[in-house]
């Protein structure tokens, strides 16, 4: 397995897709029920293959990730060849950028000494999707890139 097995809830959401997947493997509903009982390791393997296919499809489409905590914001832009990062760290103990007040404070105080801004670009060498998956496992969420683009614009001014 390359990524991680989908959760029970994810399998339920993708029920029809899983049925279609089994059909491509020429496994009928009756055969699937029988397989789960008589050869659970084969059934487990099919679940893993399906999970990897779903993950691969999702990861291929990822262009932006965000990982936001009370004191830090990490914004990623991912292309085929590069991963760009805008990292913002707030050193003020009274500011939590996950709150509306804290985020507004950050927007108004980008040049404050308590705000540290970093940018970085890394070439993707081996497996782009594996790199993206690791970031998701570490707590990043897939986005449309609004925050990345907002801060990128601010940095280019």
What are 94-133's pLDDT values in tens digits? 999 999 999 999 989 988 899 999 999 999 988 999 999 9
Strands 115-123 and 141-143: unpaired
| Percent of the chain residues topping a pLDDT of 90 | 90
Surface-to-core class of residue 145, CB atoms within 10 Å of its CB (0-12 exposed, 13-18 middle, 19+ buried) = middle
pLDDT tens, 45-76? 999 999 999 999 999 999 999 999 999 999 99
pLDDT of res. 4: 94
* Count of beta carbons in the 10 Å neighbourhood of residue 87: 16
Instruction: Provide the residue ranges of all domains of the chain, joining segments of one domain with +.
Output: 8-61, 64-156
- Mean pLDDT computed over every residue of the chain: 93
In 124-156, beta strands by DSSP E: 141-143
Q: 92-103, pLDDT tens digit by residue?
A: 999 999 999 999
CA distance 30 to 101: 56
Q: Check residue 125 and give its pLDDT.
A: 85
pLDDT for residue 78: 96
Q: Determine the pLDDT at residue 155.
A: 83
Name the pTM for this structure.
0.86
Q: Would the pLDDT of 154 be above 90?
A: no
Q: Which residues of 43-69 are buried (b: 16+ CB within 10 A; e: fewer)?
A: beebbbebbbebbeeebeebebbbbbe
Cα separation, 138 vs 69, in Å, equals 12
């Amino acid at each position: 397995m390359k990524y991680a097995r989908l959760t029970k809830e994810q399998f339920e959401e993708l029920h029809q897709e899983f049925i279609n997947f089994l059909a491509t493997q020429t496994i009928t509903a009756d055969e699937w029920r029988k397989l789960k009982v008589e050869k659970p390791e084969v059934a487990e393997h099919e679940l893993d293959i399906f999970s990897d296919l779903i993950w691969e499809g999702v990861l291929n489409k990822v262009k932006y990730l965000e990982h936001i905590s009370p004191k830090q914001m990490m914004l990623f832009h991912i292309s085929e060849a590069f991963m760009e990062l805008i990292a913002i760290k707030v050193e003020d103990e009274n500011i939590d950028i996950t709150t509306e007040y804290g985020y507004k404070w950050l927007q108004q105080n980008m040049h404050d000494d308590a705000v540290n801004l970093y940018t970085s670009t890394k070439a993707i060498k081996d497996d782009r999707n594996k790199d993206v998956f690791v970031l998701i496992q570490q707590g990043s969420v897939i986005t449309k890139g609004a925050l990345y683009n907002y801060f990128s614009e601010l940095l280019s001014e």
